[in-house]
Amino acid sequence: MEIIKDDNILKIEHVSMRFRMANDRVTSIKEMVTLLLKKKVEFREFWALKDVSFDVRRGEVLGLIGRNGAGKSTTLKIISGILKPTEGSVWRGGNIVPMLELGSGFDYDLTGHENIYLNGAILGYSKKYLQSKYDEILDFSELGDFIHVPIRNYSSGMLMRLAFSIATVVNPEILIVDEILSVGDENFQKKSHARMMELMNGGTTVLFVSHDLGQIRSMCNRVVWLEDHTVKMFSDAAEVCDAYRI
Amino acid sequence: MDVKKYNLKKVGGWLIALCTLLLLMIDLIAWPQIKACRIGVPGFFAVEAGLFALLVFYTVRMIVREKAGKSTALGNLIQIVAKYEFLIEQLVSRDFKIKYKRSVLGVFWSFLNPLLMMLVQYVVFSNLFDVKDPSIRHYAIYLLCGIVIFNGFNDCCNQAMRAITSNASLITKVYVPKVIYPVTKVLSSSINIVLSMIPLLLVTLIYGLFRGLYISWAVLLIPVALVFLISFAVGMGMLLSSLMVFFHDIEFLWGVISMMWMYATPIIYSVGLLERHGAQWLANLMQFNPMYHYVTFMRTIIIDGCSPAISEYLICLICSVLMLAVGGAVFHKTEDKFVLYI
């Protein structure tokens, strides 16, 4: 797909995110009351993001780099709508599917078959879509007849394979990838790595977080460099990667 | 991936048709009560027509505004259901499947549980302690009605309370309107309430053969009672689940409150008993207990075999709507903060 300069699919405008950290997270009424009586409920303000703006063009792969705690995950959560920004706004021109942390939507008492549908529904797929992709998921996961067994009986490798297979039969307009996943034994690792590459080069818009500069340089069109909770640099991949390394 | 949408005209049409059917049924079955009510037959019909007109007005307004490209609260709600229909279906069926998955008798527990409870309480309270009021007819059925309604409600609340906290891993990763979690929990527990109507009616039928208690047309009003009860439970579920995020104490507090509530509701005793023991003030206070009204509603249908008084419909309706409004408001106000606390 050709990337056109002003054809944005996502616009992040002056987004700031403030967290209020109570001295201790109060989770019981008793604590709350005693603290209130002592007037000890103080909030420490913490800005996880300060005035972050960038845009994503339709069809491009946009990289996000930065050190731990720079605000990458917070940015992704705001983009996907999980967190509401304190200030600023996000404009979305398409549906967003996050690449789930593997297995986070699983129910261990259900069979693999049932979990495919449950997990797919959580990711926002329609029943029809899942039915049409079911065989593909099953094939890719190499689970065979085990698909009709409750997944609490799976080995961890089987679980990962199933989770990966569900997570990657996506067809969203915007895909969020937090590190490239490769799981399982050597054979499956190769297969899953190839699948990820195929997904990311397949013409959908991708937001890609990684600590591997090599990957970022080879896959991304443009890169946002976050540092100290704000955008330090936002430009073409090669340029940002060169600056980041120094 | 295209987003599924409902045709609002169709949904609106169904909504109006369903309400018309329901109102007609009430008119028909509750005719003696309508004649006896305080505002008289014309007054009743005026109120009914007013409610119906309000419904038609909102539905038409929703459709018109949709055409003009504007949104309405009701329209938005319907489209959310459309968009997440598959997810709702999956979550409800998961909860229902999981509940009995590893038990031998499976779904039969939905029938057995209230029956066994009734049996135990019948033996205890009609032999060991005499709380029976001579004015109570058919004590076994009286108990069963109370148990089915109250336990159903309690189950809904217990399930819904943990809806947000137990789905924490999903809520922090995928965006889904959070209200779906408590509502699906209540809905899956509601399946149990609906299922428990089967033993209730069956036992009434068999018991009735020997003791002269006959099921009448009034049982057609059971869906009305269940709609009131379930919407009350949905409101309560939303309230509890959002409070639970901020204060985990709610889990333990609710254990005590629900027990208090159970004893405060005339399940094993009757209001007449309170009066006989000189606790008139308690009997008066009972009017403010919504569960008392739901339980009584059910008992009137099953035991008296007739429709409840018209005022009871109104009280139940107000309780449900109020609970839904309070629960919905609290949930809506706090839902953006959930991610920060779970």
Convert the pLDDT of each residue in B21-42 to its tens digit: 999 999 999 888 888 888 888 8
Rounded percentage of chain A residues whose pLDDT exceeds 90: 22
Q: Are residues B75 and B95 in the same domain?
A: no
Q: Are residues B56 and B203 in the same domain?
A: no
Domain end point (choices B49, B83, B117)? B83
Complex ipTM tops 0.85: no
Residues of A in contact with B339 (CB under 8 A): 77, 82-83
* Contact assessment for residue A213 and residue A244, using Cβ atoms and an 8 Å cutoff: yes
Identify the residue with better confidence: B7 or A15.
Answer: A15
pLDDT at B248 (0 to 100): 87
Sheet with A96-98, edge to edge strand ranges: A96-98, A174-178, A205-209, A61-65, A222-227, A230-236
pLDDT at A100 (0 to 100): 63
A82 touching chain B per CB within 8 A = yes
> Is the CB of B1 less than 8 angstroms away from the CB of A129?
yes
Enumerate residue ranges in chain B where pLDDT < 50.
1
CB–CB contacts below 8 A, A to B: 82
Q: Are residues B228 and B118 in the same domain?
A: yes
Domain end point (choices B83, B113, B137)? B83
Rounded to the nearest 10 degrees, what angle do helices B139-161 and B249-264 cross at? 160
Q: Are residues B21 and B56 in the same domain?
A: yes
Name the residue of chain B whose CA is nearest to A178's CA: B173
Q: Are residues B207 and B337 in the same domain?
A: yes
Where do the domains of chain A lie? 8-98+207-245, 101-169
Contacts 24+ apart (CB under 8 A), B198-205: B198/B111, B199/B111, B199/B112, B199/B114, B199/B115, B199/B144, B200/B114, B200/B144, B200/B145, B200/B148, B200/B302, B203/B115, B203/B118, B203/B140, B203/B141, B203/B144, B204/B141, B204/B144, B204/B302
Q: Are residues B177 and B308 in the same domain?
A: yes
For residue B116, give the amino acid letter.
Answer: L
Which residue among A19, A104, A105 sits closest to B340, beta carbon to beta carbon? A19
What do you get for the CA distance between the two ends of chain B, in Å? 31
Residues of B in contact with A95 (CB under 8 A): 1, 3
Burial class (CB in 10 A: 0-12, 13-18, 19+), B105: exposed
Residues composing chain B: 342
* DSSP per-residue letters across chain A: ----TT-EEEEEEEEEEEEEEESS---SHHHHHHHHHTT---EEEEEEEEEEEEEEETT-EEEEE--TTSSHHHHHHHHHTSS--SEEEEEESS-EEE-PPTTTT--TTSBHHHHHHHHHHHTT--HHHHHHHHHHHHHHHT-GGGGGSBGGGS-HHHHHHHHHHHHHS---SEEEEES----SSHHHHHHHHHHHHHHHTTTSEEEEE-S-HHHHHHH-SEEEEEETTEEEEEEEHHHHHHHHH-
Which residue among A114, A121, A173 sits closest to B87, beta carbon to beta carbon? A121
Residue B37, min C-alpha distance to chain A (Å): 46
pLDDT at A69 (0 to 100): 85
Which residue among A28, A104, A117 sits closest to B90, beta carbon to beta carbon? A117
pLDDT for A117 beyond 80: yes
Q: Quick one: CA torsion of B261, B263, B268, B274, rounded to 10 degrees?
A: -110
> Is the CB of B90 less than 8 angstroms away from the CB of A80?
no
Residues of B in contact with A96 (CB under 8 A): 175
What H or E segment, with its residue span, contains residue B312? helix B310-334
pLDDT for A240 beyond 70: yes
Closest CA to B91 of B191, B230, B209, B214: B191
pLDDT at B189 (0 to 100): 93
Q: Quick one: CA torsion of A29, A34, A38, A39, rounded to 10 degrees?
A: 0
Residues of A in contact with B94 (CB under 8 A): 107, 110, 114, 118
* Contact assessment for residue B48 and residue B22, using Cβ atoms and an 8 Å cutoff: no
Band (pLDDT 50/70/90 cuts) for residue A149 is very high
**Mean pLDDT (whole number) for A50-66:** 90
Q: Are residues B52 and B159 in the same domain?
A: no
Q: Are residues B6 and B117 in the same domain?
A: no
Residues of B in contact with A28 (CB under 8 A): 247-249
Residues of A in contact with B97 (CB under 8 A): 109-110, 114
Residues 6+ apart with CB under 8 A from B91: A118, A121, B180, B181, B184, B188
pLDDT at A27 (0 to 100): 64
Residues 6+ apart with CB under 8 A from B39: B47
C-alpha angle with apex B124: B121 to B129, nearest 5 degrees?
125
B249 touching chain A per CB within 8 A = yes
Rounded percentage of chain A residues whose pLDDT exceeds 70: 88
Q: Are residues B20 and B116 in the same domain?
A: no
Q: Are residues B58 and B121 in the same domain?
A: no
pLDDT at B50 (0 to 100): 93
Instruction: Name the residue range of residue B264's domain.
Output: 85-341
Which residue among B174, B340, B341 sits closest to A100, beta carbon to beta carbon? B174
Residues of A in contact with B6 (CB under 8 A): none
Convert the pLDDT of each residue in A21-54 to its tens digit: 665 556 677 776 776 676 665 667 888 899 999 9
Domain count, chain B: 2
pLDDT at B2 (0 to 100): 56
Indicate which of B3, B80, B81, B86 best probes the interface with A, i.e. most A CBs within 10 Å of its own CB. B86
Q: Are residues B68 and B202 in the same domain?
A: no
Which residue among A28, A121, A122 sits closest to B247, beta carbon to beta carbon? A28
Does CATH place domain A8-98+207-245 in 3.40.50.300?
yes
Which residue among A29, A123, A126 sits closest to B174, beta carbon to beta carbon? A123
SS3 B297: helix
pLDDT at B97 (0 to 100): 86
Q: Are residues B245 and B298 in the same domain?
A: yes
